A and B are shown apart, each in its own frame.
Chain A
């Protein structure tokens, strides 16, 4: 158990509303990631963080913002949700650069109507 939780696990919202997803880790790891998973696309990186207040964009960052004010929490915000953001969102942690591996949370299923 890598000590990663995501909340909420399921959410249905309407187009145009703001949505925030939370990723929480108990392992005090430096690196955290947000991905989305869609059929036919695999996992695509949205944003990642390499430390408190240090974040950078991934390949599909448009429409998303992130914040990391504490080591243990990495928040993903959809400022104004669109139907194209309906997806399953996964958070991941990476123990260290040398370790290479990532460990994933259980996911959040988001539906934007």
Chain B
């Protein structure tokens, strides 16, 4: 059974601080997605990474896919209250149509 573990589960920080969220698995994925979800809404895709070692930047967010395609990280620089939300990673398997989701990291950025 494929599992994706996210850490930390909860994170409360002050505006302007940096943070990193981790997504780890013992399985290899063909792709990995990061989503952000706000209360009462569905997850919204932030990025997809497909190549081992790949780094993508989205303004203050930096995403990295591990060399072995088993793990990923999300780094936020100078967090803002608007970054508050639930961050989810999801691993895709090219052999099936399925995705495996991590349990999520709930981030709160205090002004």
Contacts and interface: CB of A to CB of B under 8 A. Distances in A.
Interface of A: 31, 33, 35, 40-45, 48, 50, 56, 58, 90, 92, 94, 97, 100-107
Interface of B: 30-31, 33, 35, 40-45, 48, 50, 88, 90, 92, 94, 97-99, 101-104
28 contacts: A31-B97, A35-B101, A40-B103, A41-B103, A42-B103, A43-B101, A44-B101, A45-B98, A45-B99, A48-B97, A48-B98, A58-B98, A90-B42, A92-B42, A97-B94, A97-B97, A100-B33, A100-B50, A101-B45, A102-B45, A102-B90, A103-B45, A104-B35, A104-B42, A104-B44, A106-B40, A106-B41, A107-B41
Most B CB contacts (10 A, CB to CB) among A44, A45, A48, A100 go to A100
A104 B40 CA distance: 12
